[in-house]
Structure 1
Amino acid sequence: MRKALLTALLWLNLTAPLLAAPIKIGYSAWPGWFPWKVAEEKGLFKKNNVDVQMVWFEGYADSISALVAAKLDANCQTLNDTISPAAAGAKLKIVLTNDNSAGNDQIIVKKDISSIKDLKGKKLGAELGTVDHYLLLLGLEKAGLSAKDIQFTPIETGAAAAAFAAGRLDGVGVFAPFTTKALSTGKGKVLFSSKDFPGAISDHLVFREEFVKTHPDEVQKIVKTWFDTLDYIQKNPKEAVEIMARRAGTSIEDYKSYDSGTRIFSLAENLATFAPETKVPTNLHYQSKIIASFLVKSGLAKTRPDLNALFDARFIKAQSRTAALP
């Protein structure tokens, strides 16, 4: 009897890997990811019976590195910042679209710079290889310039905003809330932003592929928690904004000003963005091909990964079926 019980327990251990609690999800300063702080503070993960630790990163690039190094189970990051490590061999899965940047990623320059062509020869800074470096290169290409036409300084986003405010750079690529710091002296202006490149900067919950394979039920609960959080924010806007502004380190007024620059995706919009390829900027299959080609061309990635393998739509589809139930 004891032998049979021991055999059964060993079989369970082999077929159902134990979950090392808590599940660690990285996030950093971006309006589309601050809702996770609401989920944490209001106990929405626990309500869905999933043990999650939100891990805060002051430097966005550090969170990407932590995911690739398996120090996190999941991370909040952009599509292009997921394609780059995937091209280098990282096994990752995008399971949720939080939002699309619609102006909160900005190229901020000195007021005497009137056009993108005027950036030629100027000192510009951004976090190397990440989202606003990508935005800067997109803008340069649109104006017929390249990275060789500027003096580029690789610098962490918060430090870039501070360096620009101190007058040490002619321009920077930064995202909210760091845009507030960059513009705080009144000596800068927005030259262009993610609003000029619809769909180019999408923000996601990205898991390590191994975790998704071994713990799909937990992934599903976390996806559900995200939509529960959006519902909570809609019903309790004052309290939610206070929580998010506190995490952002900004005033409530400044935080509210970020609303128009971040388009939070509904469940229906998630279904559309994960759908089979269509020539719509927000479609992940379509946009990922554009991004991958650009990253290789600009030297930010050596090769294109298997893009279809990046996307796992089953959790969004399952959430949609559940949400449709009476």
Structure 2
Amino acid sequence: MNILSKWKNLFAALSFGVIGLSGTAKSETLHIGYSDWPGSVAWQIAIDKHWFQEQNIDVDFVWFDYGAMLDAYVAGKLDAISATNGDVLTTGANGHKSIIIMLNDYSDGNDMIIATKDVNGIPGLKGQKVAVETGLVDHLLLLTALQKYGMTEKSVDIVQTATNETPQVLESGSVAAIGVWQPAAGQALRAVSGAHPIFTSHDAPGLIYDTLAIDPLSLKRQEKDWRSIVQIWNRIVAYIEDPATQPDAIAIMAHRVGISSVTYKHFLEGTHLLNLADNNKIFEKKSGLDSLYGSTENADNFNVRYNAYKNHQNIDAYINPLSRLKPH
């Protein structure tokens, strides 16, 4: 089933009342979906430190596998998601629009094309099988890598594979490479002797932004709370980046995903966290991957090409940078 069919089926169920919408407009509690991406896990610091309670914000962070989180948002069960800019377009085009009010980070190495030991670089993938979850960000990363080396998607044999299954597929020896993000990328590197990254998001900064995207009705009803949450994010980034508090920050994040702090520090190094000052620069409207607008336009072209949805989206309608505030 392709992505478009999946979303059509979900909304057919919604129209017949199979999936009941939750009370986005009825509840004062803000329900935010987050998952195991480091820039999303970082919210755990504010949760554990009770920073939301300090600001009298009634918020419930709900832990998901990433794909399940997107489904829950489309089904109306969440007020907001911590998701990539490209996936924000996909959920919006298929029925539940959202507004990007803030950027958590951009991927700076944690999204990878990982190859077996006998493949020395992207050109070595010509004619080879590559496992990737088509239509998602590491499919885009793969296409970007191929283009950089004068190749196209037809240069390789893409094997559609769920991201969390790619380490096992690489270990089986049935493919020469996989497209994968952390923490599954680390799993693949540990499991397969000689496996190594041959292209990462560090080679294409700004290709993948991770955002806080809000249901428009929730934003309208509780904008004050959302503005406070943006300020709390700035505090989170400062806590992670301060050498005095970084060990505690990493310990909190590592505990949330069930791995050691030593391992998690490497994951964090592949995620370029963005404070409010960084946000303000990236929210400048211009072309190119160093702007959210340019990066999201690139993602929109990818989504249409690979049938995540049919019609190009109005990028401006998805962006309202509440991060353009002076930090407290």
Show CA shifts across 1:138-163 (max 9, x none): 22233343334433233332221232
Q: Is the 8 A contact 2:129 2:158 kept in 1?
A: yes
Q: How does 1:301-320 map to 2 (within 5 A)?
A: 301-313=309-321, 315-317=322-324, 319-320=325-326
Question: Which residue of 300, 316, 320 corresponds with 1:292?
Answer: 300
Compute the displacement of 1:244 (Å).
Answer: 0.5
1:248 has 2:248 as partner: no
How far has the Cα of 1:263 moved from its partner?
A: 0.8
Any idea what SS the aligned residue of 1:96 has? strand
Residue ranges of structure 2 left out of the alignment (5+ in a row): 1-23
Are residue 201 (structure 1) and residue 208 (structure 2) matched?
yes
Partners of 1:31 and 1:110 lie apart in 2 by 25
The structure that has the greater radius of gyration is 1
In 1, the alpha carbon distance for the partners of 2:257 and 2:233 equals: 18
Conserved 8 A contact 2:237-2:274 = no
Supply the distance in 1 between the matched residues of 2:91 and 2:236 (Cα, whole angstroms): 29
- Residue 42 (structure 1) shift: 1.3
What residue in structure 2 maps to residue 126 of structure 1? 132
Change (3 A) 1:120 1:20: same
Shift of the alpha carbon at 1:279? 4.1
SS at match of 2:175: coil
CA contact (8 A) 2:44 2:253 kept: yes
**Offset at residue 281 of structure 1 (A):** 2.5
Aligned to 2:78: 72
Q: Corresponding residue for 2:181?
A: 175
Partner secondary structure for residue 54 of structure 1: strand
Structure 1 length-normalised TM: 0.85
| Residue 75 of structure 1: how far off its partner (Å) | 0.7
Secondary structure of 1:29 counterpart: coil
Which of 29, 38, 41 is the aligned partner of 2:45?
Answer: 38
Q: Aligned partners of 2:167 and 2:213: how far apart in 1?
A: 27
| Contact 2:74 2:95 (8 Å CA) reproduced | no
**Aligned mates of 2:68, 2:152 — CA distance in 1:** 27
Q: Is the 8 A contact 1:61 1:130 kept in 2?
A: no
Residue-by-residue CA offset, 1:28-79 (whole Å, 9 max, x unaligned) = 1111111111111111111111111111113x12212221221111111111
How many correspondences in the alignment? 302
8 Å CA contact 2:83, 2:211 repeated in 1 = yes
The one of 265, 268, 281 equivalent to 2:274 is 265
Counterpart among 145, 164, 173 of residue 139 in structure 1: 145
CA distance in 2, matches of 1:85, 1:236: 36
CA contact under 8 A between 1:95 and 1:312: conserved in structure 2?
A: yes
2:58 aligns with 51
Q: Give the Cα separation in 2 of the matches to 1:69 and 1:33.
A: 21
* 1:7 alignment counterpart: none
Local SS of the residue matching 1:32: helix
In the alignment, which of 94, 98, 102 is matched to residue 100 of structure 2? 94
Shift of 1:21: 4.5
